[in-house]
Amino acid sequence: MAILTDPFDVVVLGAGAAGLMCAAFAGQRGRRVLVLDHADRPGRKILISGGGRCNFTNIHTAPDRFLSANPHFHKSALSRYTAADFLALVESHGIAWHEKTLGQLFCDGSARQIVDLLLAECDRGNVVQRYDTSVTDVSHADGRFRVTAGERSWSAPCLVIATGGPAIPKLGASGFAYDLARRFGLKVVEPRPALVPLTLGGTEALFRELSGVSAPVIARSGPAAFTEAALFTHRGLSGPAILQVSSYWRKGEPISVDFLPGRDAGWLLAAKRNTPRAALRAMLRDELPERLAQALCDRLGAELMLPHDIGNMSDAALRKAEERLRQWQFCPTGSEGFAKAEVTAGGISTAELSSRTMEARRMPGLYAIGEAVDVTGWLGGYNFQWAWASAMAAALAL
Ligand code: FDA
């Protein structure tokens, strides 16, 4: 028989970014809050995020930088708790920060400072925290949720699911949120790895020989396009541009890579007029890392039977070569999966939740926030901003 300890107003499952934020601010509003986590310490993903400096938000946060089955769902929470709001919180803790690129804000010091910020805010809200606590059962009766972990049990009228998604299981990530949601009758949008390296096979496996080479590109998957670096790896493709398109990519579809992002259309035809003695190989070497230029040129040469000097090539051949370089099609065989994914796309269906409060429509008192929900941000601080904003939406309603 489990021992029922002090009653709480709210039990938050998961002491990650969203769970700690929600617990802190619900506590500061006078709620008696308990946070449970099966890990031995809070915020493990925060600690390793942003290469140890935590890219804690993005000043360009806007609804179109998030994927969800309902592209409108996240608008409310994101507009009520903005990147500027979180930045003000960071500054109120005296944490020095800098913008790295593309609106991405990082700690000057360490990601530990963000975890310490959240823990200090939890202390201000008298939040009770329990770690190394594996939840064995969650039930609901008489308007209260009862959470059991072995011999211990807690009850509260409100339960917040903040256990994230299964990306990087070795950090304690799990699909627990989905099991729990389904138990209470909520639908789950099929979870899939996102912000994840893609794998190449077949004839494209040859590109793996370029492992370590990176270049600025425009990567596209369907309507999504990202101008950033791509990196060839021993398994396929990675780097920010590829991670970004991976969230949009579906198995069986190609991705397209523009290797000439800095050049105007018609570059090769203009070069034929201006520098007819130039060799395509040399021109590409001026644009791209040598090994990549060589590999692309070899493939173009084999496919289009190109002679060396561009002055000797037909306009049609040059147009075709440029088109290939601007729309290089890769057909990934898959992704490196949840083991290497930075986030999970999909999750608890937004159709089940109030966009204002994150409360489940058909189960009053049950809330879901953060990565557990079917809202996934781009690379660059957007996922933490969703964690903060969805947590705050729930905290203000609890
Ligand atoms: P989060 O995963 O943070 O927390 C979930 C908590 O629930 C964890 O503490 C876990 O232990 C706990 N839990 C899980 N299952 C449980 C169970 N069964 N019982 C009890 N507890 C359970 N984003 C960004 O915006 N900027 C960045 O710089 C980065 N960098 C980055 C690097 C790496 C390597 C990864 C893997 C991810 C990022 N991210 C990121 C993504 C970001 O870390 C992520 O989106 C947020 O941490 C999600 O916050 P949540 O609180 O929803 O889940």
Distance, in Å, from the CA atom of 362 to the CA atom of 366, rounded to the nearest integer, reads: 9
Place 5 in a pLDDT band, splitting at 50, 70 and 90: low
Model pLDDT, residue 66? 98
Among 85-89, 203-207, 323-327, 385-389, name the one with the lowest average pLDDT.
203-207
Residues 319 and 367 in one domain: no
Give me the interface pTM, i.e. the ipTM: 0.99
Model pLDDT, residue 299? 86
Number of domains in the chain: 2
* From 25, 36, 49, mutation site for ligand 1 pocket: most ligand atoms within 8 A of C-beta: 49
Residue of the CA atom closest to atom 25 of ligand 1: 381
Q: Which of 316, 335, 354 is the last residue of a domain?
A: 335
Whether the per-residue pLDDT at 324 is higher than 90: the answer is yes
Place 280 in a pLDDT band, splitting at 50, 70 and 90: confident
Look at the pTM and tell me if it is higher than 0.90.
yes
Percent of the chain whose pLDDT exceeds 90 = 88
Residues 186 and 242 in one domain: no
Among 110-124, 217-231, 252-266, 281-295, name the one with the lowest average pLDDT.
281-295
Residues 172 and 239 in one domain: no
Distance, in Å, from the CA atom of 326 to the CA atom of 376, rounded to the nearest integer, reads: 28
- When pLDDT is averaged across residues 22-45 and rounded to a whole number, the result is 98
Residues 368 and 293 in one domain: no
- CA 220 / ligand 1 centre spacing (Å): 27
Structure tokens of 27? Answer: 């506590």
Model pLDDT, residue 394? 98
Residues 284 and 354 in one domain: no
**335-365 per-residue burial string, b: 16 or more CB within 10 A, e: under 16:** bbebebbbbbbbbbbbebbbbebbbbeebeb
Q: Which of 313, 335, 357 is the last residue of a domain?
A: 335
Confirm or reject: Cβ of 322 under 6 Å from ligand 1: no
Residues 36 and 118 in one domain: yes
Model pLDDT, residue 89? 98
Residues 211 and 182 in one domain: no
Place 306 in a pLDDT band, splitting at 50, 70 and 90: low
Model pLDDT, residue 377? 98
Q: Which residue has the higher pLDDT, 6 or 281?
A: 281
Model pLDDT, residue 298? 85
- CA 164 / ligand 1 centre spacing (Å): 6
Residues 84 and 206 in one domain: no
- When pLDDT is averaged across residues 93-118 and rounded to a whole number, the result is 98
> Can you state the angle between helices 267-274 and 280-287, rounded to 10 degrees?
120
CATH number, domain with residue 66: 3.50.50.60
Model pLDDT, residue 241? 98
Whether the per-residue pLDDT at 222 is higher than 70: the answer is yes
Whether the per-residue pLDDT at 305 is higher than 70: the answer is no
Place 4 in a pLDDT band, splitting at 50, 70 and 90: low
Model pLDDT, residue 7? 85
- CA 15 / ligand 1 centre spacing (Å): 9
Whether the per-residue pLDDT at 62 is higher than 90: the answer is yes
Confirm or reject: Cβ of 168 under 6 Å from ligand 1: yes
Residues 41 and 174 in one domain: yes
Distance, in Å, from the CA atom of 181 to the CA atom of 386, rounded to the nearest integer, reads: 19
Model pLDDT, residue 281? 85
Residues 54 and 159 in one domain: yes
Q: Are 108 and 121 in contact (CB under 8 A)?
A: no
Whether the per-residue pLDDT at 328 is higher than 90: the answer is yes
- When pLDDT is averaged across residues 209-237 and rounded to a whole number, the result is 96
Residues 277 and 301 in one domain: yes
Q: Which of 294, 317, 335 is the last residue of a domain?
A: 335
CATH number, domain with residue 240: 2.40.30.10
Residues 135 and 212 in one domain: no
Host domain of residue 371: 3-193+341-395
